[in-house]
Every structure is written in structure tokens, then in C-alpha cells.
């Protein structure tokens, strides 16, 4: 690991009071822990990562697979984060769960292990699971997933979001709604809400619900839907290379003009100025280079510090 020059700018973090919930639990753990060590010990700054989220392939997960379910390895990972007092959130955002699914031994094992740490909680979309976890581990925090908003049958307005804020410890905005500035400005309390900064889906995606249902089935059923998932993402997901077929599907003559939900520097600054401090990075399925690029770019001062830390970590 490179030693950093002593003549660095005073600003190390993007913003001192930004809190970043970073994907990568059970996927990019060594890099996350190394990144935290660099920022705190080598750069002398506050750790910008407030929590880490992810899940292995268990029934309550929603299909984004990280490492296999091996108890000894998962226990060691949870213990490593526990030693540095990092809260962990299990992405148990499967919205198709039934009462029978609540018996899943692997999912229950993980939620018990997180409860033992006394920190963190679960990111979820299902009311059934929310009630179950609240009864079993009432001290665990609950975050309302974007999937909960995506499958909601009704308007995603101020009334909806604030009602979710009363029910959950934190609520993640649907990425499309992050561009609705009047909505963001009106919602209170802003400390209850989280903004995804690097969502790859296109704005106004017409197949988001279908994709989430496919991922939920992948997690819930003991069958291999990898091939079906890949087919969907190749032929129907409009955030992938845009073919004529996809352009017709979304009703555009030039689909490449549709932007994704990644926030620009100006957009992040504007949302920050509205009063939001909780931000989220997705990416547990990204390759190491892409994952580290986003973590450094979004959480650190982006012009000088982020490139230096990124280069030090990938070399």
C-alpha cells in the first residue's frame, strides 16, 4: 500500500457530515475494511462509511448473489466488521415472501448473527418479514428498500414517503423520485431518508417491477434462475446496450438519450443543500475496479483524494 504525500489538501471527504451506506457485504469486505483503514489511519479523516449492506443466497434475499452460504466464512466476516464497530444491514428485500418462508433456517441464522452484534439491521420490502423481525429482534433497525416503493400500488408522493418514515428507521427513495426536487424539498424529516447515488437503471424504467419480481423468485425458490436472469438483462433491461428492439420497447427512436439514475456532482450538491445527509452506494455485484471507483469517487473529495486512494488500492 502506498504511503500518501504529506502535502495533501485539507479536504479529505466529500462532505464531513455525509453518511454512506455502502454495498459489498459478503462480496467486497477486504476492500471495504482496507478503505476504512486508509481514510482513518493514513489520511487522518473520519470514516465516511456509516454502514455496509448485502446478503448471501438465502430465501429472504432478492436475488443479487454474493458469496455462497458457508457459516464459518460468514461468521468471520461479521466478526471482522464487529471489531471496527461497523453496522451491517442484510438486504432481505424479497417482496414475494409468505409466512412459510419465514421459517428459512439460513435467513434466520443470519438475522440472529446480526442481532448479536447489537448494530445494524435489515433492508426489506415485505410487511410480513418486517413484522416477523420486529417481534423476534425489536432492536434491529429496519430500512425500507427501493423495491418496496417500486412495487407500491399507488402514488409515490409526500404522503406515501412520510408514512413509510413513520414505520421504518430509514426509507430509500425510488431512484426516479430523486429527480423530483419539489418532492425532496417537501418531505420531512430528511434525516429519515436515503438517496442512492449510483443507481444504473435508466430514469423511468418500464420493466423495473418485472426485474424485481424475477430477482425475488431467484432468491425465494430453490431453482437456478441465472439463465433466465441473464436473458432478461440482455434482452429486456434497458440499462444495457440499447438495441433497436429495446428502443421500440420503451417507445423511443433514440434510446441512448435516456440517462441512467447516476447522480452528477451538481445533483449530489443540490440534494445535499436540500438537507439530505444519508446516501447509499449499490455495487455488490460489480467487479473490484468498478466497486472501488464508486466508493472512492462518491465518499471522498473527488478531484484529488479519490483518484489517489483508488490508485493506491488497485495497484
DSSP 186-247: H-S-GGGEEEESEEEEETT-SSHHHHHHHHHHHHHSSS--HHHHHHHHHHT-TTSS--HHHH
Q: What pLDDT shows up at residue 250? A: 40
Rounded to two decimals, what is the model's pTM?
0.89
- State the fold for domain 19-204+260-314: TIM Barrel (3.20.20)
| pLDDT tens-digit map of 176-219 | 999 999 999 999 999 999 999 999 888 888 878 887 877 777 66
Kindly give the interhelix angle for 305-314 and 29-37, rounded to the nearest 10 degrees: 130
| pLDDT tens-digit map of 215-263 | 777 666 554 555 555 555 545 565 554 444 434 444 444 444 568 899 9
| pLDDT tens-digit map of 134-151 | 999 999 999 999 999 999
Q: What pLDDT shows up at residue 236? A: 55
What are the backbone angles phi and psi of residue 196, rounded to the nearest 5°? -80, 125
Is 93 a residue whose pLDDT tops 70?
yes
Q: Where in the chain is the domain with CATH 3.20.20.70?
A: 19-204+260-314
C-alpha grid cell, residue 291: 466497486
Amino acid at each position: 500500500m502506498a504511503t500518501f504525500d504529506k502535502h495533501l489538501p485539507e479536504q479529505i471527504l466529500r462532505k464531513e457530515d455525509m453518511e454512506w451506506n455502502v454495498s459489498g457485504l459478503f462480496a467486497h469486505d477486504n476492500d471495504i475494511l482496507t478503505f476504512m483503514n486508509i481514510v482513518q489511519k493514513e489520511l487522518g479523516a473520519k470514516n465516511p462509511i456509516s454502514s455496509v449492506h448485502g446478503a448471501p443466497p438465502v430465501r429472504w434475499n432478492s436475488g443479487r448473489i454474493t458469496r455462497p452460504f458457508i457459516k464459518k466464512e460468514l461468521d468471520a466476516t461479521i466478526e471482522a466488521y464487529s471489531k471496527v464497530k461497523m453496522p451491517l444491514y442484510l438486504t432481505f428485500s424479497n417482496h414475494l415472501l409468505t409466512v412459510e418462508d419465514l421459517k428459512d433456517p439460513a435467513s434466520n441464522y443470519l438475522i440472529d448473527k446480526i442481532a448479536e452484534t447489537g448494530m445494524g439491521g435489515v433492508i426489506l420490502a415485505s410487511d410480513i418479514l418486517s413484522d416477523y423481525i420486529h417481534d423476534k429482534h425489536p432492536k434491529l433497525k429496519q430500512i425500507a428498500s427501493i423495491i418496496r416503493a417500486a412495487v407500491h400500488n399507488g402514488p409515490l408522493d409526500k404522503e406515501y414517503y412520510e408514512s413509510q418514515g413513520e414505520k421504518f428507521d430509514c426509507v430509500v427513495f425510488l431512484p426516479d423520485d430523486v429527480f423530483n426536487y419539489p418532492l425532496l424539498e417537501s418531505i420531512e424529516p430528511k434525516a429519515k431518508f436515503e438517496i442512492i447515488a449510483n443507481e444504473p437503471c435508466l430514469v423511468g424504467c418500464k420493466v423495473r417491477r418485472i426485474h424485481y419480481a424475477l430477482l425475488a423468485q431467484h432468491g425465494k425458490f430453490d431453482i437456478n434462475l441465472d439463465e433466465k436472469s441473464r436473458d432478461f438483462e440482455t434482452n429486456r433491461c434497458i440499462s444495457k446496450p440499447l438495441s433497436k428492439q429495446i428502443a421500440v420497447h420503451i417507445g423511443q427512436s433514440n434510446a441512448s438519450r435516456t440517462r441512467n439514475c447516476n447522480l452528477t456532482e451538481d445533483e449530489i450538491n443540490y440534494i445535499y443543500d436540500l438537507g439530505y445527509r444519508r446516501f447509499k452506494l449499490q455495487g455488490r455485484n460489480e467487479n473490484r475496479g468498478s466497486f472501488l471507483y464508486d466508493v472512492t469517487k462518491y465518499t471522498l473529495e473527488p478531484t484529488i483524494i479519490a483518484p489517489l486512494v483508488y490508485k493506491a488500492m488497485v495497484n
